[in-house]
Structure 1
Amino acid sequence: MEYVDLAGMSPDGVDEILDNQLVGACNIEEVRELARIGHKCLHKSLRKRPSIGEVTQAILKIKQRRRAKEDTMSFADGDFSRVMSRIEDQQIELSKLGGLNGEA
């Protein structure tokens, strides 16, 4: 497998902190998104840091995209019970997220 040199690829510096061995071992776009979230949490100005609700929403979006992709693949494999279980899990997560938004 060929490894990509990630250094210098992103203007925000996210790619510079990534280990080249992650390429091919995980979804690099998900890793980049998580690193961006973490970077925002480290902002010097407290007011510019995201709230825990915003962080939770961003992470849930990543998880939901991953699940949607997995579910699409499951439909192709005919694994409908797994898909239904995932839909139920997503409904629970969305209801929790709704509760977080109400508290903010």
Structure 2
Amino acid sequence: MSSDGADEILDKKLAGVCDLEQVRSLARIAHRCLHKTPRKRPTIGEVSRAITKLNQKHLVRVESRTTMSYGSEEFSGVVSCIEVQENHNLE
């Protein structure tokens, strides 16, 4: 179990299907978004940058194996949606 409790909310079926460390990282980002004090919550820009950073780390690992999985394509799609939302909020 992770010290931040992320493992408690994860579906056990994810084990072996995806990178659990990446899922834990996403759960930590989501947890920050739920802070009781609104000004302590990250902005959508901060969330987008954190997810983009995770995606870049993931892509480096994928490229080093020279294969692309469905999961990384789905992850990229989620990041793209967040970036579109961030751009919309800036207008």
TM-score, normalised via structure 1 length: 0.61
In structure 2, the residue matched to 1:39 is 31
Matched, 1:67 2:59: yes
TM-score, normalised via structure 2 length: 0.69
Separation (CA, whole Å) in 2 of partners of 1:41 and 1:24: 27
Structure 1, gaps ≥5 residues long = 1-8, 78-92
Question: Residue 11 of structure 1: SS of its match in structure 2?
Answer: coil
Runs of 4+ in 1 over 4 A off after TM superposition: none
In structure 1, the residue matched to 2:21 is 29
In structure 2, the residue matched to 1:50 is 42
Which of these two proteins has the greater Rg computed from alpha carbons? 1
**Alignment RMSD:** 2.0
